[in-house]
Amino acid sequence: MKKDFLILICFLTSVVGLILIYIAAINLEPKQIELKDVTSELVGRSVLTSGKIVYKKTHAAGHLFLTISDEDTKIQIPLFAGFMNTLKEVGLTENDFEIGLKISVSGLVDEYQGQLQIIPRRDGDIKILND
């Protein structure tokens, strides 16, 4: 009886914890920073930033690789095939990401072959700011 009670308590606290984490997860946004402030010290952290598209390359597998820049800093934005499919559902295709457009992007900062990247995950993580 005592063990069953402990199991019930642990189950309920686990469920409550999961619900609270879920509520926090869907409401929390990453920290907004300038593109020049995205450094390797932020690898593994989530940020929100913006910049102009200065380079664009499509991959045969359906990936789209963008590079955004302010005056000095360049950051890669890899949009993988699965994410591109998600964007298509909200009406964005690779043609919408033209060179010169300013976009905002939020996601995880990563480093690939010495180059800093921001990897968006949700459709709302990447927005075109001007036409």
- Binding residues for another protein restricted to 72-91, rule: CB under 8 A: 82-83, 85-86
Strand partners, 93: none
Burial label for 105, CB within 10 Å (0-12, 13-18, 19+), is buried
Residue 60 makes contact with another protein by CB under 8 A:
no
Nearer to another protein, 52 or 121 (CB): 121
What burial letters (b/e) apply to 69-83, b meaning 16+ CB within 10 Å?
ebeebebbbbbbeeb
Residue 122 makes contact with another protein by CB under 8 A:
yes
Alpha carbon distance 108, 78 (integer Å): 11
**Smallest distance, another protein to C-beta of residue 100, A:** 29
Alpha carbon distance 38, 43 (integer Å): 9
- Binding residues for another protein restricted to 1-40, rule: CB under 8 A: 3, 6-7, 10-11, 13-14, 17-18, 20-22, 24-26, 28-30, 40
Q: If binding means CB under 8 A, how many residues of this protein chain bind another protein?
A: 33
Alpha carbon distance 55, 76 (integer Å): 9
Interface residues with another protein (CB under 8 A) are 3, 6-7, 10-11, 13-14, 17-18, 20-22, 24-26, 28-30, 40, 43-46, 82-83, 85-86, 108, 111, 114, 121-123
